[in-house]
A and B are shown apart, each in its own frame.
Chain A
Amino acid sequence: MTAEATTPVAPAITPVSDGISTRIISPRRLMWWKFRKHKLAVASGIFLILAYLATIFAGFVAPYDTASRTRNLYAPPQGINFVDETGQFHLQPFVYGWKMTRDLQTLSPVYAVDPTQKFPLRLFAEGEPYKLFGLIDANVHLFGVEDGGYFHLAGTDHFGRDLFSRLISGAQISLSVGIISVFLSLVLGLVIGGISGLYGGWIDNFIQRLIEAIIAIPTIPLWLGLAAAVPRDWPPLYQYFAILVVLSLISWTSTARVARGRFLALREQDFVTAARVYGASQTRIIAKHLVPNLMSYVIVTLTLAIPGIIIGETALSFLGVGLKAPTVSWGVLLQEAQKVQIIQFYPWLWIGPAACVVSVVLAFNFVGDGARDAADPFSR
């Protein structure tokens, strides 16, 4: 027991003795401690929580509406400055405006920093109206500039739409797809893996062959094939769910395998035998003895599966068979950035969504790594 100066948790305890207080360390707490040791995982976890919060409060966090157009088409990102051109330091950061000219040969807009236009940044600024959670009217944004100014942290696209706002909007789709899809495959995987591991015999054999077959099929071609089934003319919400289902249909296999493996191993454990001997019903054994002992492994598998799903949706939308405009997801944004001049001259339009995907995927990978270390708190 740790010799921490904390008060005992369970009231039923009579203090042991000599000033050493005890704290009941459950296996869950042990796992949490082990996870905490993995600094990168913790940092990634915080990042992800912030990212998901941003998607919930999307209207608030984004300075502009997803679809509103401004005058500055194809404007590059504006940097945040604290020091102005005269070398003077301002506590309140600001951005410079653009002076736009046209390249006479290509007719594309060229932007130069215009020191005469300074737009100070403000927190909790008033801006375009939006509906928080789609219900409450509001117009306060996390940050913004005063009237007449503009602030495009990530640049604008060919309609002058603020990319940063669109990225946050895209995050709503891309991130939610990951979570919901993984939840579906959790349920599928647990049930199927459980049946496979607990009943054995020909059911197990059949399910294993099925899983092998699914794994053998290259993922993206299979997704492409399934995505083809989604009718073009369905409303965006249905398409969203259809894509969700398609992605889940493949990813349940890894959960099922892990669940099956653990069920097989746990079946032989003495505490399960003991439960049988004192008359516990099969249901009770599954619920109270088997499932709690495999949840940690399943969670690890799921955490590591989310990046695959997010990349999957991005890839499908990028190829044009997933979600489509006007739905905004990172994949759709990447798809819109697929013209040659864009790639070459306005790289922020694909760097933005790409960076978002990569950072979220990296974060999930780190968290998954930390979770994997923590899942077996008694190892070593």
Chain B
Amino acid sequence: MLNYAIRRSGQMLVTVLVISVIAFVVIQLPPGDFVNSYLATLSGGNIITQDAIIALRSQFGLDENVVVQYWRWFTNLLQGNMGISFQYQRTVIDLLGERLPLTLAITIPTAIFVYVVAIPIGIYSAVRQYSPMDYLLSFGGFIFLAIPNFLIAIVAIYVSYRYFGGSVGGLFSPEYELAPWSLGKALNMLQNMSLAILIIGTGGIAATMRVMRGMLLDELSQAYVETARAKGLSEWRLILKYPVRVAVSPVLSTIGFVLPALISGTEITATVLNIPTTGPLLLNAVRSQDMFLAASIIFVLSILTVIGTFISDLLLVWADPRIKL
């Protein structure tokens, strides 16, 4: 097990390296370098002084060739120096520190939500194949697969306006916006977050449910299930004990794809719903070509995915005795 963990860590590092290169490419893509962009937006009363610019130039080697720049940027990154956002006049790591926790607070519960809901639905759908409920669920699954998160968010806004007269969006409703912390405010925040989680989760649930259903259907036709039945086990008991455990394993391993999709969905849904995660931050950064901020967000989000996948892989290997190390 330890060997496996070490080997996977090695792979993970390579992946992280490749990601860092891609993120760096993102920084370099827009024409001109960062400092020029910054200078172009200079206005009076700046907190960041000329000295800081010169420091920046030398720190990141902006006058030298690309490979050196990459190396400087990466080593700085590892030490926590991710550069400066000229748009917000603050260090990137500052901004990230503000926004990242909320991103995580939404994404992680969504991931749990997706699997907690999709797996039982998938199991039910497979066991009661061709029943009306199965058709309904499959059809619903297809529909939600087709509707991207941000559209659902728009629909949600519309519905709330039209029928509930309420305003949906933002982390807090207007009345709690500037109020001091209280139970009511916390509840309100949870409420808004829950809506976001619900919206982001639909696509993941739809996809995972279908995978679960498919995997379980494959298992249910196997001979060992009939054997268990013949031996007299009650239906649900035997299903949960045997084929489900076999079928769940590949479903859980899809987290490598689900997690990036969820993060992606969080970003864009949060942008539509005006929730202050890294989503709106990234969008603004991209619009104003604030590239250090943009690339750092991309990098950090990707690392989250890699770590998340790594943890789930370890859990999977530990839980599934069939996987040989």
Contact = CB atoms under 8 A, between A and B. Distances in A.
Q: Do chains A and B touch in the complex (CB under 8 A)?
A: yes
Interface of A: 209-210, 212-222, 224-229, 231, 307, 311, 314-315, 318-321, 334, 343-344, 347, 350, 354, 357-358, 361-362, 365-366
Given A213-B18, A216-B15, A216-B302, A343 B260 contact: no
Interface in B155-201: 155, 157-158, 161-162
Contacts of A214: 22
B282 A307 contact: no
B143 interface: yes
Interface string B26-60: 10011100000000000000000000000000000
B295 A225 contact: yes
Given A224-B283, A228-B30, A311-B148, A343 B158 contact: yes
Contact of B298 (A210, A212, A225, A354): A225
Per DSSP, chain B at the interface is helix
Contact of A210 (B18, B147, B151): B18
Given A213-B18, A221-B282, A228-B291, A362 B26 contact: no
A213 B15 contact: yes
Interface string B1-31: 0000000000100110011001100100111
B148 A366 contact: no
B260 A229 contact: no
Contacts of A361: 146-148
Contacts of B298: 217-218, 221-222, 225
Contacts of A354: 151, 154-155
Given A215-B260, A228-B294, A344-B161, A318 B146 contact: no
A358 B291 contact: no
A224 B282 contact: yes
Given A215-B260, A357-B148, A221 B267 contact: yes
B61 interface: no
Nearest to A361: B146
B85 interface: no
Contact of A228 (B29, B263, B267, B306): B29
A222 B26 CA distance: 8
Interface of B: 11, 14-15, 18-19, 22-23, 26, 29-31, 142-143, 145-148, 150-151, 154-155, 157-158, 161-162, 256-257, 260-261, 263-265, 267-268, 271, 282-283, 286-287, 289, 291, 294-295, 297-298, 301-302, 305-306, 309
A214 to B, nearest CB: 7
30 contacts: A209-B15, A210-B18, A212-B11, A213-B15, A216-B15, A218-B263, A218-B305, A219-B261, A220-B265, A220-B267, A221-B298, A221-B301, A222-B298, A224-B283, A224-B286, A225-B295, A226-B26, A228-B287, A228-B291, A315-B150, A318-B150, A320-B287, A321-B283, A343-B154, A343-B161, A347-B162, A354-B154, A357-B148, A361-B148, A365-B146
A247 to B, nearest CB: 14
Given A321-B287, A361-B146, A362-B143, A226 B309 contact: no
